[in-house]
Amino acid sequence: MQLLFALLLFIGSPFWPFDEEVLPGDPLIIVNKRTNELAWINEGKVRFITKVATGKTDEMTPEGLFTIKVKAENPYYRKANIPGGDPQNPLGSRWIGFDALGTDGRIYGLHGTNNPTSIGKYISEGCIRLPKTQLEFLYDNVLMGSKVLVVNTDQTFEGVAYEIGVI
């Protein structure tokens, strides 16, 4: 009976099913929509935590385990035809796109902002905005194919990382 209960708890976890490509020590970006914070985990340790901005509504920033598919410096903003590097560009200096909801890494992503006061707020159309320094550090240190886990939880980053097996 206890084994059955444990199995049901495990399968009922918000992180099930696990992606077998996430292994202990792997780099992982965790975004917690509840606190509007991001943690970068690498080699089994939380390397840094920063505030972020997420979707205006809970549904706008998808939750789940995703894969980084696109990285771009000074990304072009297609919606308003704003070139990369332009101070009016809301994407800032970098784009780290991931495959949320079956997309190709060009719809949802981690990016900068031309409005730093938006960090920490529920304000985006679904992407995750970061402060420039932290975004550029991640861009330089996270490889294509790395994982991004978006959650909405009261757990600590260490607790989430432990539950999925990277710590």
Amino acid at 122: Y
Classify residue 16 by burial, with Cβ atoms within 10 Å: 0-12, 13-18, 19+. exposed
Tell me which of 91, 119, 127, 167 is the catalytic residue: 127
* 41: nearest Cα among 159, 163, 157, 164: 157
* SS3 of residue 102 by DSSP: helix
DSSP string, 29-43: EEEETTTTEEEEEET
Query: Could you confirm whether 127 is annotated as catalytic?
Result: yes
Tell me which of 111, 134, 163, 166 is the catalytic residue: 111
Catalytic residue IDs:
111, 127
